[in-house]
Amino acid sequence: MWNSSDLSPNDFFTFPKIKNRLRGQRFQTLEESVDAFKNAVLDLPANE
């Protein structure tokens, strides 16, 4: 079994949720993609 202390719970729980929210979207610029990521993070409930 592979184990690394460098991985945080965010790698397993938060990022997949954000990825699902952004799935299928296309962005014209890097700034648009960063803004979409920030909005997806801010839209997550605090307990997640």
Quote the pLDDT of residue 3: 60
* pTM exceeding 0.85: no
- Give the up-direction half-sphere exposure of residue 32: CA atoms within 13 A in the CB hemisphere: 6
Quote the pLDDT of residue 47: 76
> Cα angle vertex 23, ends 19, 24, to 5°?
165
Phi, psi of 9 (to 5 degrees): -60, -25
Quote the pLDDT of residue 28: 97
Quote the pLDDT of residue 15: 86
Per-position pLDDT tens, the chain of length 48: 556 566 677 667 888 889 999 999 999 999 999 999 999 999 988 776
Quote the pLDDT of residue 16: 87
- What span, in angstroms and rounded, lies between the C-alpha atoms of 46 and 48? 5
